[in-house]
Amino acid sequence: MDNLKPAQALNDRQDLGPHQRVPDVEVSKSPITGFLWLEITGKCNLACVHCYADSAPDRSHGSLELEDWKAILQDAAALGIGMVQFIGGEPTLHPHFPELVIFANECGLEIEVYTNLTHVTPDLWQLFEERHVSLAASFYSAEPGVQDAITHRRGSQRRTLQNIKAALERSLPLRVGIVRVLDDQDVTEAERMLRSLGVQHIQLDRVRGIGRGQDFGIAEVSVGELCGSCAAGRAAIDPDGWVYPCVFSRWLQVGNIRDQSLEEILMGKRLGRTRAVLATEFAQREQASLQCDPQVVFCPPKMPCPPQQSCSPNCPPSVGCPPPPMPPGRCPPMA
C-alpha cells in the first residue's frame, strides 16, 4: 500500500469523480482523526427522498457486530479521538444502541447522536441525559405536509417538533440542519419556527448528489458534493466496516475495519493521500470563489464555502470543527 500512486490511493474502483484530474501529491502519514462518524445502521423508519445513505425501513444493520463497534470505540479512545457521532440510518434503531452509547461514554468520548427525532422513548431520554449526549437532527418545513412528503412518513414533522421541544426542555445540546430539498420549500419559515422554539444552532444545507440525492439531477458523484471539511481530522465508518473521509464521500473507501485496525486505516497512506488530494481540490475551489450563497449558507452546489470554515452538516457546533483531541480514554472491559 505504501507504494500506491495517487490515483490508486483513492480507491480501486473510482477516483475523485468523473472527469476530475487527480493531482500528484505526496504524503507520508495521515494525521490522526479528531472526529468519527459511526454509521451503525442502514435502517431507518423514514425514507427521505434525498437520503445520501439510501436508508429505509427495509435496510439492514450491516455486517459489523456489537463487539466490532466496541473495538472501534476502544481504539478511538486509545488514539485520542475526541468525539464520535452515532448516525445511520436512524442509529436509535440499532439493537445495541444504548450499550454503544454507554460504552463510548465510559471510554471518555464525547458523543453526538444524529437522529430524526421521530421516536424517542423515555429510556432513551434518560440515556441521553445520563451520558451527556448531544443531539443533531434534520428538519425541512414548518408545513407538516411538506416535511412528511420529504420523509415519506405521515406525522414525522409533528413528532420531530415534539422531540425538539423535549430535547430543549431537558437542556440537551441540540443542533438542527435544515435541508433544502424542494424548490418551493420555505426554509426561512422553518428556521423562524425553530428559533421561536429556542433552537440556537441551525445550519442550512442543500441536497447532496449522493445516494438518493442523485435522483435530483446529479448523475454522478463527485467532490463537488463535498463541503470541504473532510480533508482533515475526520473519518466515517459504515455498517459494513468501510471507512471514508466523511459520511458523504462514500465512494472514497480507504479501508475496511474487518481487514485492518482503526489505527492502521487512520494512519495509513491511503487515507492520507485521499485527504491530500481532496485538500488540493478544495484549495482550488476556494480560490475560485470565497463567496457563499446567502440563501444556503453552507456548501451550495456551484459556490462552495471555503474549506476551512465549519461548513460540515455534522460539525459539532459546541466544540468547533474539528473538535480538539482529548487524552486517551479508558474503556470498560468488552466482555
Q: Which of residues 133-152 bind ligand SF4 (CB under 6 A)?
A: 151
Q: Which of residues 79-108 bind ligand SF4 (CB under 6 A)?
A: 88-90
Minimum distance from residue 212 beta carbon to ligand SF4 (Å): 8
Q: How many CA atoms lie within 13 A of 55 on its CB side?
A: 26
Site string for ligand SF4, 197-236 (x = CB under 6 A): ----------------------------------------
Minimum distance from residue 319 beta carbon to ligand SF4 (Å): 23
Distance between CA atoms of 234 and 175, rounded to whole angstroms?
Answer: 19
Give the angle subtended at the CA of 86 by the CAs of 80 and 89, to the nearest 5°: 150
Q: Give 30 or 151: the residue with its C-beta nearer to ligand SF4.
A: 151
Minimum distance from residue 180 beta carbon to ligand SF4 (Å): 14
Dihedral pair phi/psi, residue 123, rounded to 5°: -65, -40
- How many residues bind to ligand SF4 according to rule CB under 6 A? 12
**Close Cβ partners of 196 (under 8 Å, ≥ 6 residues apart):** none
Angle of the 97-106 helix axis to the 122-130 helix axis, nearest 10: 10
- Judging by beta carbons within 10 Å of its beta carbon (0-12, 13-18, 19+), is residue 326 exposed, middle or buried? middle
Signed CA dihedral, 294, 296, 302, 303: sign only: positive
Q: Which strand ranges, in their side-by-side order, compose the sheet holding 242-244?
A: 201-206, 174-180, 133-139, 110-114, 83-87, 35-39, 234-237, 242-244, 255-256
**Close Cβ partners of 17 (under 8 Å, ≥ 6 residues apart):** 220, 221, 222, 223, 224, 251
Site string for ligand SF4, 268-307 (x = CB under 6 A): ----------------------------------------
Among 41, 116, 141, 160, binds ligand SF4 (CB under 6 A): 116
Site string for ligand SF4, 29-58 (x = CB under 6 A): ---------------x-xxx--x-x-x---
Q: Give 88 or 307: the residue with its C-beta nearer to ligand SF4.
A: 88
Minimum distance from residue 48 beta carbon to ligand SF4 (Å): 3
Minimum distance from residue 237 beta carbon to ligand SF4 (Å): 16
Minimum distance from residue 199 beta carbon to ligand SF4 (Å): 18
| Residues in contact with ligand SF4 by the rule CB under 6 A | 44, 46-48, 51, 53, 55, 88-90, 116, 151
